[in-house]
Amino acid sequence: MNRNQVLPQVQLSSDPNALKRVDFCAPQSYRGAGFLGISDLPRLAEEVSTVQSGDGFEWNIETHFEESPGSNPHQILVLGLKGRLHLICQRCLQDCAVDLAEKRRFILVASEKEADDYPVEDEEQEPLVASQQFNLLDTIEDEILLSIPLIPKHPDGFCEPFTSGIDGEEPDEVATERENPFNILKNIKKN
Ligand SMILES: [Zn+2]
């Protein structure tokens, strides 16, 4: 018997607060999608350099049960994320748009111990401890934070390395200043 065919499928609310309490112990599967702005994700909000219109993440989630010989069926959660945030470019030190698109697969386990014992070498999926009030919003935010590049940069050729220049001025102003001595010299000659 395929468990997915007899279990009800529940639509997840796209309301961020509703995502904080999802019952993963109930005999049902879930499906849903929505959009989270940066302000819905307080830990992420601390990492970004600026928030521009359109910044945030589209998410989609589906869960299903997979038969496993000799034990209860495993509950699998697939999370898709697509969106944009702004970080400081480590080359030019200006704001830099970072686009992320991720797909993650999780297996729901019954206890912390089961999660600790789960083989880390399984790169296909990671364990999550199921609960009746599971915080899916936290899981989504965790995955975005884990996906952020360690050294964000504009694409190669799109920006110049930051130079402190003379008195911290912009490089093009420095170039103008280099010409100034000649102008000063001309003025001296005129006088
Ligand atoms: Zn840059």
What is the chain's pLDDT, residue by residue, as a tens digit (191 residues)? 566 667 899 999 999 999 999 999 999 999 999 999 999 999 999 999 999 999 999 999 999 999 888 888 899 999 999 999 999 999 999 999 999 999 999 999 999 999 999 998 998 999 999 999 999 999 999 999 999 999 999 999 999 999 876 554 555 544 444 444 445 455 555 54
Ligand 1 center from residue 179 Cα (angstroms): 27
Ligand 1 center from residue 149 Cα (angstroms): 14
Ligand 1 center from residue 161 Cα (angstroms): 7
Residue that the structure tokens 């390395």 belong to? 161
Ligand 1 center from residue 93 Cα (angstroms): 6
Q: Which two tokens stand for residue 94?
A: 């200006």
Global confidence as pTM: 0.81
Ligand 1 center from residue 163 Cα (angstroms): 12
The neighbouring-strand residues paired with 41 are: none
State how far the Cα of 130 lies from the Cα of 1, in Å rounded to an integer. 23
Q: Which of 79, 98, 80, 101 has the alpha carbon at shortest distance from 90?
A: 98
| Strand stretches in the chain, DSSP E | 9-11, 29-37, 56-68, 71-88, 95-109, 126-129
- DSSP structural state of residue 86: E
Ligand 1 center from residue 144 Cα (angstroms): 21
Q: Which two tokens stand for residue 191?
A: 């006088």
Ligand 1 center from residue 177 Cα (angstroms): 24
- Alpha carbon distances (Å) from 85 to 22, 68, 82: 26, 39, 10
Amino acid identity of residue 120, one-letter, is V
The neighbouring-strand residues paired with 83 are: 57, 100
Ligand 1 center from residue 80 Cα (angstroms): 28
Q: List phi, psi (to 5°) of 12.
A: -75, 140
Q: Is the CB of residue 78 less than 8 Å from the CB of residue 128?
A: no
pLDDT for residue 178: 45
Helices and strands: H and E segment counts in the chain: 5, 6
